Amino acid sequence: MESPMTVGLPDLMPGQSLARGVARHLLSHDFVTVEELVPTPGLRVDLMALGPKGEVWVIECKSCRADFTTDRKWQGYLDWCDRFFWAVDADFPVDLLPAETGLILADGYDAEIVRMGPEQRLAGARRKAVLQGFARVAARRLQGLRDPGAFSTAVI
Amino acid sequence: MESPMTVGLPDLMPGQSLARGVARHLLSHDFVTVEELVPTPGLRVDLMALGPKGEVWVIECKSCRADFTTDRKWQGYLDWCDRFFWAVDADFPVDLLPAETGLILADGYDAEIVRMGPEQRLAGARRKAVLQGFARVAARRLQGLRDPGAFSTAVI
């Protein structure tokens, strides 16, 4: 029998499980989220969040030390958000993480913002592009789930 | 046995079926869509579409003459989009529709843009608000489908 704690996390990789918990928690701050978003070719962020006033946050989910130390791209993410956060679980050695970044402790069910990332607000044109990309990815995936036939039709 | 033409339209009202066909067709123009969006309290549009350059279209789906003649709000929609369209099926008396509006012929599977609505571009501040509302609704609904447990958690 599955334990109650594993129900609902059947197919998620550790990083995806963290993303789920973070996304759930951010709803309580009225932030909506999209996973695995590509703001520009070559960069894929684990989670992008959009706040009630248009705030754009990026959250990178790291399941273990190696997952963090092999990440050569994270500083590139700073240019695509107003605030940047790491999301890790309770076992992660958080002293590894740069001080000038946000920190979220998470599991698959919930999360807690431990440290806010410093704010570096996006310039207007980039903000508009990011918002538009977020909107288009979210709507396209939503349509894909609601009407899977839509995409085969569009290819024809 | 279901006929092939009814497969995939099990629970849709006539207007929703038109919206599905329009949404499918708009993908071929690289427009993504969200159904039943509320741009401002008191107005609910059947379909809002977001184009590759940020174009905002509103499409109202009318399943029959009465559905159109009882609509007292449609002119209010013009202020929330760059172009406005009606979507109707092949049996609809299209002469009823105002000439200065767009027209899309649709069924549940596809659609065709018969007449473009004239362009009246949104002002910057409203465009930003509309885009943000579109993004937030799409992301929230997407999360609701991917992780239904998220919303009960958020309420706690």
Whether residue A65 is predicted with pLDDT greater than 90 in this model: the reply is yes
pLDDT, tens digit (0-9, with 9 covering 90-100), for B104-115: 999 999 999 999
Average pLDDT taken over every residue of chain A: 91
Whether residue B2 is predicted with pLDDT greater than 70 in this model: the reply is no
Q: According to the model, what pLDDT value does residue A152 have?
A: 72
Residue A43 lies in a domain: yes
Residue B130 lies in a domain: yes
Residue B114 lies in a domain: yes
Residue A154 lies in a domain: no
pLDDT, tens digit (0-9, with 9 covering 90-100), for A88-130: 999 999 999 999 999 999 999 999 999 999 999 999 999 999 9
Whether residue A15 is predicted with pLDDT greater than 60 in this model: the reply is yes
Looking at the 3D structure of chain A, how many domains does it have?
1
Nearest to B54 among A8, A20, A132 (CB): A132
Residues 120-149 of B with CB under 8 A from A: 128, 131-132, 134-136, 138-143, 145-147, 149
Distances (CA, A) of A1 to A5, A13, B137: 11, 21, 37
Work out the average pLDDT over B132-151.
95
Q: B134 to chain A: nearest residue by CA? A: A135
**Consecutive H or E run containing B66:** helix B65-69
CB atoms within 10 A of CB B87: 27
Q: How confident is the model at residue A11 (pLDDT cuts 50, 70, 90)?
A: confident
Q: According to the model, what pLDDT value does residue B5 have?
A: 47
The reply to whether residue A136 touches residue B32, judged by beta carbons under 8 angstroms, is: yes
Average pLDDT taken over every residue of chain B: 91
Whether residue A6 is predicted with pLDDT greater than 70 in this model: the reply is no
Distances (CA, A) of A146 to A141, B9, B49: 9, 12, 16
Residue A152 lies in a domain: no
Q: A155 to chain B: nearest residue by CA? A: B28
Residue A8 lies in a domain: no
Q: According to the model, what pLDDT value does residue A3 have?
A: 43
Residue B71 lies in a domain: yes
- Domain coverage including residue A90: 14-146
